Copies of this chain bind each other. A is one copy, B any other.
Amino acid sequence: MLTVNNFIKEFNLNVDLAVEASDLLRGGKNIEIDGIEEKVETSKRLRVNTITVTTPEAGARIGKPPGNYITIQAPPLHVNDPELQEEIINMLSKTLQKITLPFLKPNDPVLLVGLGNRYAAADSLGPKFIEYSPITRHYHRYAPEALIQGMRPASGIAPGVLGTTGLETLEIIKGVAEQTKPALVIAVDALAAQQIERIGSSIQISDTGIQPGAGIGNARHPLNQRTLGVPVIAIGCPTIVSAAVISNQSIQKFCSNSACAYDEAAATESIKKVLSYFGGSLSVTPKEIDEIIKNTAKILAGGVAAALFPGIKQRQLELYAM
């Protein structure tokens, strides 16, 4: 585990999924770690993994603040299947309702945040999520008669990325939250995974907010209850794997196939040579990434809307989206 973490550090990588961070921490073994509870449930074709980090010490070890990390994992490559999509939307909705129960009352206003760069394919999940989400807050002010009974105020913003706005995500979202006082922020972001098959098939929901530098967007400061003054639910989906990770896995697999000894320092040095250009920020994506992003954004928007507006039909909700 330690050696792996060195690799991660050398390449300045993020292990965005708690379920992958936990695997790395255990070194792939089935051992118990103090302060980290893990639970796995399955439901038809879905596998739901809940990791609870209960102490700051465990948080430091796994690189995640204390809180709950729930990963819905669908079978890879089958997500473009209407029935499976519905199953995921239902599971996401159920999960969100449970995790937001402690701090969200029926008519409380919610601010949806779509992180990432709308002009960069693999990073546009957040902005696309906002496009597909029902937005209702302005009707409460200007046209309440256009609302369906029981619709809470929902607003949405895609703040863009530091490189194109010159503004920290936190500066924008904190500013908006202070002006509009939502009871909850739900932030969606594209993540980096360690495993190719997770692209387009995993959803992580967490009650700890968005961590610095997570994913390929540039959220340098955390978005969480402490920084925003509002609870933050983070929803993230892997859309890339770092090229360094893929290369390292290939070397490890080669070593085990060829009976040569894997050495992390040598692997790190070799990979750095190969990937030195573009500051090492090289991502691996499948050719169909644009389609995957669109598909995933729709699933997330569907699941979040179902959780926020219980009892209202999906196709009614779509009329309130962009």
Contacts and interface: CB of A to CB of B under 8 A. Distances in A.
Contacts of A160: 157-158
Contacts of A254: 251, 254, 266-267, 270-271
Contacts of A119: 290, 322
Contacts of A283: 284-287
A42 interface: no
Interface in A208-244: 216, 243
Of the candidates A196, A243, A250, the one having the most CB atoms from chain B within 10 angstroms of its own CB is A250
A197 interface: yes
Interface stretch (A19-27, A54-62, A273-281, A304-312): A273-281
A275 B135 CA distance: 28
A186 to B, nearest CB: 13
Nearest to A220: B142
A260 B257 contact: no
Interface string A76-115: 1100111000000000000000000000000000000000
Of the candidates A163, A251, A255, A286, the one having the most CB atoms from chain B within 10 angstroms of its own CB is A251
Contacts of A162: 138
20 contacts: A82-B316, A82-B318, A120-B287, A121-B289, A135-B163, A138-B166, A167-B180, A174-B175, A175-B178, A196-B274, A196-B275, A199-B278, A247-B247, A250-B250, A251-B251, A254-B267, A281-B287, A283-B286, A283-B287, A284-B284
